Structure 1
Amino acid sequence: MKVLIADTVLPVCADVLRRAGIEADHRPGISGNDLLKAVADIEGIVVRSDTRITDEVMRKAPKLRVVGRAGAGVDNVDVAAATKRGIVVMNAPGENTISAAEHTLSLLLALARQIPRADRSMRAGRWDRGQILGVELCGKTLGVLGLGKVGREVAARARAFGMDVIGYDPVLSEEVAARLGVTPVPIRAVYERSDFITLHLPLSDATRHLIGADELSRCKKGVRILNVARGGIIDETALHGALVSGHVAGAALDVFENEPPAGSPLLSLDTVILTPHLGASTQEAQEKVAVRIAEQIAAYLKDNLVINAVNVEGIDPRLLPILQPYRDLCERLGKLLSSLARGPVSEVNVEYSGSVQEYPMRPLTASFLKGFLQAKLSDPVNVVNALVLARDAGIRVLETRAAEPQDFTALISITLRGRDGTRVAAGALFGKREPRLVRLDEFHLDALPTGDMLIVSNDDRPGMVGRIGTAIGSASVNIAYLSLGRDRSGGHAIAVFNLDSPVPDDLLRQIGAIDGVLWAERVTL
């Protein structure tokens, strides 16, 4: 067995592999044709963030079984192509938590006391003691956006400085927040109340440019902002404008929309502290990830043990064809409820009834949690770690078996309980493969959980579906499928529209304003 270490990884990585009886070829900086030639006879490859493992690279590596990322993010690996080729992609999450948190605190202190500016002044031969005035951290409010592993460590250290820590996290329960000493607040309150704001969120469609001109205008005048998470969460153009105007007093950035940020106007501002993506750049963090990824690759190559995989999980191969449609259904239900749920969730109950009880429940529950948590957490979520991440977020996960369902041979029902009430969704397979949404809250229906969806709840009275449909048509959006349900005649009803294109913002607002509409949500599955 042979593993190629393609980036600059500490030598301990190769040492661990060799002790396991695996040949290790450490060739940092290898690229292009040299890389394509080097992968011809390898079974594993270790990368950091420089080497890109594309479909072309994998095509040239017929023996490749595992790609190991010495770190958390796998943006430089074509995970979809790897999955299609049966290649496990694994990472080493959490090993850089302390380093990233400490770097955040370093920037926080440097920003508060203008240390880089003072250093530049001294080196220029000046003694600007009277012109450089900082602020204390003690008594200030720190707003933490994202309370995953790094966010929690930052919060703990900020409290030691006497800061009042408030935070927003879409899945963290109030009980866990209380244990952390963090006051959970809506995201708008973070902007309005914080003296310092630090970001610890994943980059996704939902978080890209999460902080733009509108959000910055809501912040307190003189706010200071830090980002040691992912570039792109802050609209850098809007941030530059707010810094120039003086509304934002300062910023400290370790990550950027484009890395390196050549030509960025932020480079010219004295009120900005910039570091070149150093969050994980400590001796300790790099040693931890080097050892961890080597141990995981050795376990997989020698014992077929999958640890921290981002694209596969351990299931009996004989059950995969049977379980896959149920796993797909559960993940779709998770994404649906993730889009509809409001506020923190404290409990998830996954109820299995009928013939699905014959199969292992845990992979199906993990598939639901993957769909539910994926867009909400800063940590990578997959079916291997979904249950652990749910527990860390303070979500109690229950799995129950129920009696035979009346109308289905197999039924999976999900109940969410949280601060803002209860949400229920149930799904079944038609023809053993086609997923269906057969219940949403108190409504029974037959909906397709796929593609662009518009879900509308309204008073059950004549003309409602017509008015909603007319609004959709007027926006040049085509309806592909429609499912209806109601609790009783003259009560409340629900309509689930499958559409041929996404729901525009204006259309969603227009439908929400129709007399008799109780709520309207768009979902993409």
Structure 2
Amino acid sequence: MENYRILVLDPVSEDGIKELLDHPNYDVDVNTGLSEEEILETVHEYHALIVRSQTTVTEEIIRYARQLKVIARAGVGVDNIDIDAATKHGVIVINAPDGNTISATEHTMAMMLSLTRDIPAAHKELSEGKWNRKGHKGTEMYGKTLGIIGVGKIGLGVAKRAQSFGMRIIAFDPYLSDDKAQEAEIEKMEVDEIAARADFLTVHTPLTPQTKGIVGEDFFGRTKPGLKIVNVARGGIIDEDALLKALDGGRADGAALDVFEEEPPTDMKLLNHPKVVVTPHLGASTVEAQEKVAISVSREIIDILENNTIVHAVNAPRISENINKELKPYINISSHMGEVGIQLMNRPPSEIKLKYHGELAIDDTSMLTRSFVSSMLKPHLGENVNIINALYLLQEQDVVYKVEKKGKAHGYSNYLEAELINEDETLVLGASVLNGYGERIVKINEFQVDIKPTKHLLFIDHQDRPGIIGEMGITLGTHKVNIASMQLGRHDEGGNALLSLSLDQGVNDEAMEELSKIKGFNGLKQVDLS
């Protein structure tokens, strides 16, 4: 068996890396606090690096590390690793997303309790010799309603612990199924409903374009006075300016923050506010969590180097050159189908059915499935989703998926179809790659279409009538949006129809509002492809 060399660049739990230290085929060097220049001198000798948050793994380090196969982050965030450079050089980046679950859950409860009983301020006064019992009147958690945005492992853990305090749980998560909510004794709600009914709020989502500022001015405009807020997830989920206004204006009665939009934070207004409790990003800072994350990455390094088994990759290794060239366009169209599908639906699916017809069905289609799923999940779960971890993350969201293969494809040499299902809606997308024309989406629900995936797409469900397309064109022209191509799908004159537009520019909110008022337009969906 080949010998491997591992370089540990940041302090990690020695018990956590014991499997590597004791392994006869691994030479482990623990050398912390090195500068980039010092790392560059020896990094070419190593097959794997282990870091926490102190060391920045730059493109130059990755380029010099000619034998490097794995970079392991003993924790969750990978902001200190150049992911693009690692992917470019075929280096797998892994993290340990589950190791800090208990620690983050318990820290959330600690922050909530500190906030409700004013513990930090009371401690400070008493330590300074002030006995001020009347100045620190707390709030009971018993009988109160806790709103949770994001019900993954940490969110569920917080719900369970809060229930033991006698709290009622209301929650939003796009992937929270009715069965899972019922089992956990959680009432599903939309974010604006949570704002209106919660006494306490905690957030446990990744920071994505969909979650950035999800608790902002609009949210605070709906809350009842006295709301207490906790964030042990990611800075930016809560709009700090809006939070400060809510605290000063009485819409919020307190906040406990472990994470910030800028770290370390430089704006001290929020940190010094009398109704705010703060800690310096300590959610994962326990002895047990640090040991768990070190154990997790140690075991996965061994699995990757010896068995090519990957579970927690946050980047996608380069596609093998051995993959059939004819399959590559279908990987692209699968990815675009995932992007289109999730944006056309009002809520994420609880079930996915993927069908591969024609010669395509003979090949290994797992890459197509992973491409579809990763693109579908990214809007809600963030850029860490990729073809390596897509199915693992899909399973975590309790989404069922099925793959069906058939040898014949009527009308096409190869045909892909995706059916996305939730309790309120079903969406069917069909696609193919046409000789001389490239990728095409050829079916949306009952309509036959011919859509080339482009950056900006607009889909309009409407009643077919004379002049309606002209009104649409005038509206888009007024807002300086150019139509690159247009497809109309319909069955009967004057009946329901689907208009599909490829646009050179995105449509702003004002234009979308004007389009929605055109008589006969029943629904509009704008889709932006990466």
Distance 2:485 2:15 in 1: 57
Q: Which residue of 2 aligns with 1:503?
A: 507
Q: After superposition, give the CA deviation of every residue in 1:183-213 in whole Å (9 maximum; x if it has no partner).
A: 1111111111100110011111222112211
TM-score (norm 1): 0.95
1:182 is aligned, of 176, 182, 186, to 186
Alignment-derived partner of residue 463 in structure 1 = 467
Instruction: Identify which of 116, 124, 145 aligns with 1:141.
Output: 145
Unaligned ranges ≥5, structure 1: none
Match of 1:382 in 2: 386
Which residue of structure 2 lines up, in the alignment, with residue 18 of structure 1? 21
Aligned equivalent of 1:395: 399
2:342 maps to 338
Residues 501, 3 of structure 1: CA spacing in aligned structure 2 closer, same or farther, 3 A cutoff?
Answer: farther
Cα distance in structure 1, aligned partners of 2:327 and 2:139: 58
Residue 6 of structure 1 corresponds to 9
Q: Which residue does the alignment assign to 1:223?
A: 227
Deviations 1:222-250 (A, max 9, x none): 10111111111111111111112222000
- 2-structure distance, mates of 1:175, 1:378: 25
Deviation at 1:219? 1.1
Contact 2:150 2:203 in 1 (8 A): yes
SS in 1 for 2:120: helix
- 1:290-325 superposed Cα distances (whole Å, 9 cap, x missing partner): 111112112222333333222237987633644433
Aligned to 2:88: 84
The range that moved more, 387-396 or 499-508, is: 387-396
The separation in 1 between residues aligned to 2:295 and 2:338, in whole angstroms, is 34
Aligned residue in 1 for 2:241: 237
Deviation for aligned residue 1:433: 9.1
Match of 2:135, SS state, is coil
Residue 122 (structure 1) aligns with: 126
Distance change (3 Å), C-alpha of 1:154 and 1:191: same
Aligned-residue Cα RMSD (Å) equals: 2.1
CA distance in 1, matches of 2:14, 2:41: 23
**Secondary structure class of the residue paired with 1:107:** helix
Partner of 1:429: 433
Partner of 1:63: 67
Describe the SS at the equivalent of 2:253. strand
Name whichever of 453-462 and 265-274 sits farther off.
453-462
Give me the whole-angstrom Cα distance separating, in 2, the residues matched to 1:362 and 1:201: 28
Distance of 1:156 and 1:390 partners within structure 2: 23
Distance 1:496 1:76, change over 3 A: farther
Amino acid at match of 1:211: V
436-445 or 37-46: which moved more? Answer: 37-46
Q: CA 1:378/1:131 → structure 2, altered by over 3 Å: closer, same or farther?
A: farther
Amino acid at match of 1:16: E
Distance 1:6 1:487, change over 3 A: farther
Select 1:38's aligned residue among 28, 39, 42. 42
Instruction: For residue 374 of structure 1, give the secondary structure of its aligned residue in structure 2.
Output: helix
Q: Report the CA distance shift for 1:217/1:113 in structure 2 as closer, same or farther (over 3 A).
A: same
Identity %: 38
How many equivalent residue pairs?
525
Aligned equivalents of 2:452 and 2:523: distance in 1?
Answer: 20
Deviates more, 1:249-258 or 1:483-492: 483-492
Distance in 1 separating the partners of 2:478 and 2:21: 66
Question: Please, which moves more after superposition, 342-351 or 236-245?
Answer: 342-351
| Aligned partner letter, 2:15 | V
**Secondary structure of the structure 2 residue equivalent to 1:218:** coil
Moved over 4 A (4+): 313-317
CA distance in 2, matches of 1:420, 1:119: 51
Alignment of 1:312-391 (within 5 A): 312=316, 318-319=322-323, 321-343=325-347, 345-377=349-381, 380-391=384-395
Counterpart of 1:207 (choices 211, 216, 219) is: 211
Q: 1:328 to 1:14 in 2, by over 3 A?
A: same
Residues 275-294 of structure 1 mapped to structure 2, 5 A cutoff = 275-294=279-298
TM-score, normalising length: structure 2: 0.94
Paired residue type of 1:52: T
- What is the CA–CA distance in structure 2 between the aligned matches of 1:432 and 1:386, rounded to whole Å? 31
> d(CA) in 2 for partners of 1:360 and 1:252?
50
Offset at 1:353? 1.2
Cα offset for 1:389? Answer: 2.9
Aligned to 1:476: 480
More divergent stretch after superposition (362-371 vs 143-152) = 362-371
CA contact (8 A) 1:173 1:345 kept: no
1:113–1:134 CA contact under 8 A, matched in 2:
yes
Instruction: Provide the C-alpha distance between the structure 1 equivalents of 2:458 and 2:407, rounded to a whole number of angstroms.
Output: 32
- Of 91, 95, 98, 1:94 maps to 98
